[in-house]
Structure 1
Amino acid sequence: MTDRSYEVDVDDDGPTGAEEEQLTRAGAGDPERAAEAALRPRGLGDFVGQPQVREQLSLVLDAAQARGRAPDHVLLSGPPGLGKTTLAMIIAHEIDKPLRVTSGPAIQHAGDLAAILSSLEEGEVLFVDEIHRMSRAAEEMLYVAMEDFRVDVIVGKGPGATAIPLELPSFTLVGATTRSGLLPAPLRDRFGFTGHLDFYSTEDLHRVLVRSAGKLEIAADSAGLQEIASRSRGTPRIANRLLRRVRDWAQVRGDGTIHEDAARAALRVYEVDELGLDRLDRSVLQALCRRFRGGPVGLSTLAVSVAEEAETVEEVAEPFLVREGLITRTPRGRIVTDAGWRHLGYEPPEAPF
Structure 2
Amino acid sequence: MARFAAGLCPAFAGSLWTEPAMPREAILSAEIPEPEEDRDLRPQRMADMVGQQEVIERLRIVVDAARKRSDTLGHILFDGPPGLGKTTFANCIPRELNVPLVTSSGPALKAPKDLIPYLTNLEPNSVLFIDEIHRMPKPVEEYLYTAMEDFRLDIVLGEGVNARTINLKLKPFTLIGATTRAGMLSSPLRDRFAVREHLGFYTVDELTEIVRRSAAKLSCNIAGDAAIEIARRSRGTPRIANHRLRWVRDYAEAKSSGQITVAVAQAALAMSGIDILGLDKQDRAYLETILRVFSGGPVGVDSVAHTMNLATDTLSDEVEPFLLRCELIVRSPRGRMLTSKAFEHLKAWGNK
| Aligned residues of 2:204 and 2:228 also touching (Cα < 8 A) | yes
Question: Quick one: structure 1 residues 261 and 8, their matched pair in 2 at CA, closer, same or farther if it must change by over 3 Å?
Answer: farther
For 2:281, give the aligned amino acid.
Answer: R
**Does 1:39 pair with 2:32?**
no
For 1:26, give the aligned amino acid.
Answer: P
Structure 2 distance, partners of 1:114, 1:239, is 38
Deviations, residues 81-115 of structure 1 (Å, cap 9, x unaligned): 00000100001110011111111111121221222
Query: 1:166-315 maps to which residues of 2 (within 5 A)?
Result: 166-315=168-317
Aligned-residue offset at 1:330: 1.5
Q: Percent identity?
A: 45
Aligned-residue offset at 1:37: 1.6
- Paired residues, number: 328
Structure 1 distance, partners of 2:191, 2:237, is 28
For 1:13, the equivalent position in structure 2 comes to none
For 2:236, give the aligned amino acid.
Answer: G
For 1:338, the equivalent position in structure 2 comes to 340
Q: What secondary structure does 2:269 align onto?
A: helix
Q: What secondary structure does 1:72 align onto?
A: coil
Question: Quick one: structure 1 residues 217 and 7, their matched pair in 2 at CA, closer, same or farther if it must change by over 3 Å?
Answer: farther
Deviations, residues 194-217 of structure 1 (Å, cap 9, x unaligned): 111000000000011111011111
Structure 1 distance, partners of 2:213, 2:98, is 24
Structure 2 distance, partners of 1:337, 1:180, is 29
Deviations, residues 129-170 of structure 1 (Å, cap 9, x unaligned): 111111111111111100000011222334323221111101
Aligned-residue offset at 1:307: 2.0
Query: RMSD of the alignment, in Å?
Result: 1.8
Question: Quick one: structure 1 residues 48 and 7, their matched pair in 2 at CA, closer, same or farther if it must change by over 3 Å?
Answer: farther
Unaligned runs of 5+ in 1: 10-21, 28-32, 347-353
Aligned-residue offset at 1:3: 6.5
For 2:33, the equivalent position in structure 1 comes to 26
Structure 1 distance, partners of 2:236, 2:104, is 26
| Aligned residues of 2:103 and 2:128 also touching (Cα < 8 A) | yes
| Aligned residues of 1:329 and 1:335 also touching (Cα < 8 A) | yes
For 2:95, the equivalent position in structure 1 comes to 93
Unaligned runs of 5+ in 2: 1-17
Deviations, residues 291-316 of structure 1 (Å, cap 9, x unaligned): 11111111221112222211111111
| Aligned residues of 2:28 and 2:122 also touching (Cα < 8 A) | no
TM-score computed with the length of structure 2 as normaliser? 0.89
With 96-105 and 111-120 compared, the bigger mean Cα shift is at: 111-120
For 2:89, give the aligned amino acid.
Answer: L
Bigger Rg, structure 1 or 2: 2
For 1:128, give the aligned amino acid.
Answer: I
For 2:258, give the aligned amino acid.
Answer: G
